[in-house]
Amino acid sequence: MKLYYYLLSTIILFVGQCLSSKAQVTISLQVPPSGAIQKAQLWNFMLVSSNPAPLTVAVKLSLISTTDNLPVLTGYSKNLLLTPGAKQVGFQSLSPIYYSLVSPLFNGNTDPNGYLPVGNFMACYTVFKVDGDLSNELVTECSGVGVTPLSPPFLSYPPDNDTLNSLYPQFTWIPPAPINMFTNLSYDLLLAEVQLGQTPTDALEQNLPVYSTTNVRVTTLPYPSSRTGLIPNKKYVWKIVARNNGQIAGQSEVWSFHTKGILPPIAVQASNPGFIKLAKNDEVAQSICNGVLKIEYLNEANDEQAYFSISSLSKSFMDTVATGNLELKNGQNFIDIDLTKYNKLNYSDTYLFQLFNTRNEQWKIKFLNRPKLNE
């Protein structure tokens, strides 16, 4: 029994010495909790040593994504002589720092002053005692870090509460900043109509979008000419959502605009009465046909043939209902297209006719087919 108590007390004393040894150094983290954070800002903390003799230590940083609990960055400081008492350390006193970038979030960015990618992370620091080629872990502390851009995307055009003449507006915005925080930046655009009594925010949250698109890689986007134009004399709202590697990185304010009480053009003046000119721009003319679509096209490309398509605009997606080829001559062409051959054309739908030439140009017209019914 005496031997048992002797062994037990020896074990307790040994464990206590080990715990005491680990508790000789503490670390007090001073990491910015949120905002646009540079890698150098991660290396600010205070080390406190209660060891009576100086220690040679090194610090390892592991930055872990809270999304999947996987490390995205590891960094190792140089060796540091830690004397008894408190010591404030920073990036300069710990440099040179060796980084191991283990995530595509950094896109190979090894700049020690570079920004962290947008996201939520856990920064964990481990202090090691260095003794020759051996190292012993002394203490580990972790702190949450939320990286956000300094500014979200900023809407530019149409201006807030503006009135537009066009029913096919062009949307423009300014990227979130700083732009070098992002390694795979894309945008979502949301456009909705405002109903009576709704605020702009309510309209975007409660109404089905009039138009939405994702994975936009530019900061200027025209409303598609392949879609039915916006309704005259209506109020619309829009916003931009920025994403980095698919994760939301910022959202713009919600802006609104009004469309004038105008109707889209029914015809474009042609040199031959009854024929409607095709157009390349988004202000596409609209015609009403009685079973025959009469178009005027200037064949500047000197093509012998051109491919055409007819698509319905009355669905949430552009549905191609007819295709074919047209024989052309040089210069001006006046073409009759017999719509009665295409039995997929509905009486109530709006259609887009597109002619494609060898210059990769698209010439267009919208039309309603109203064939005369047999009596």
Parse the chain into domains and list their residue ranges: 20-147, 154-259, 276-369
Write out pLDDT tens, residues 194-231: 998 889 999 999 998 999 999 999 999 989 877 888 88
Tell which residue, 42, 105, 120, 114, has the closest CA to residue 72.
Answer: 105
**Cα-based torsion angle of the residue sequence 200, 206, 209, 210 in order, rounded to the nearest 10 degrees:** -70
List beta partners, residue 137: 128
Token pair belonging to 67: 């999304």
CATH number belonging to domain 154-259: 2.60.40.10
pLDDT, average across residues 132-150:
85
Tell which residue, 83, 86, 76, 85, has the closest CA to residue 127.
Answer: 76
pLDDT of 108 reads 62
Confidence of residue 373 (pLDDT cuts 50, 70, 90): low
pLDDT, average across residues 31-42:
85
pTM: 0.55
67 burial (CB, 10 Å; 0-12 / 13-18 / 19+) is exposed
pLDDT of 273 reads 57
pLDDT of 4 reads 46
**3-class DSSP state of 129:** strand
Tell which residue, 265, 257, 259, has the closest CA to residue 283.
Answer: 265
pLDDT of 8 reads 43
pLDDT of 334 reads 93
Reply yes or no on whether the pLDDT at 17 is more than 50. Answer: no
Confidence of residue 109 (pLDDT cuts 50, 70, 90): low
Domains 154-259 and 276-369 share a fold: yes
- The matching CATH number, chosen from 3.40.50, 3.20.20, 2.60.40, 2.70.98, for 276-369 is 2.60.40
Reply yes or no on whether the pLDDT at 15 is more than 50. Answer: no
Reply yes or no on whether the pLDDT at 350 is more than 90. Answer: no
Reply yes or no on whether the pLDDT at 9 is more than 80. Answer: no
pLDDT, average across residues 284-293:
80
Rounded Cα–Cα distance for residues 291 and 370 (Å) = 6
Q: What single-letter DSSP state applies at residue 13?
A: H
Select the more confidently predicted residue: 286 or 70: 70
| SS (HEC) of 194-257 | CCCCCCHHHHHHHCCCCEEEEEECCCEEECCCCCCCCCCCCEEEEEEEEEECCEEEEECCCEEE
Reply yes or no on whether the pLDDT at 279 is more than 70. Answer: yes
pLDDT, average across residues 105-133:
81
CATH number belonging to domain 20-147: 2.60.40.10
Backbone region of residue 245 per phi and psi (left: phi > 0; alpha: psi in -120 to 50; beta: other values)? left
- Quote the mean pLDDT of the chain: 83
Reply yes or no on whether the pLDDT at 237 is more than 90. Answer: yes
pLDDT of 102 reads 66
Out of 75-79, 116-120, 276-280, give the one with best mean pLDDT: 75-79
- Rg for the chain (alpha carbons), in Å? 34
Reply yes or no on whether the pLDDT at 308 is more than 90. Answer: yes
pLDDT of 66 reads 87
**Least confident piece of the model among 14-18, 142-146, 191-195:** 14-18
pLDDT of 329 reads 92
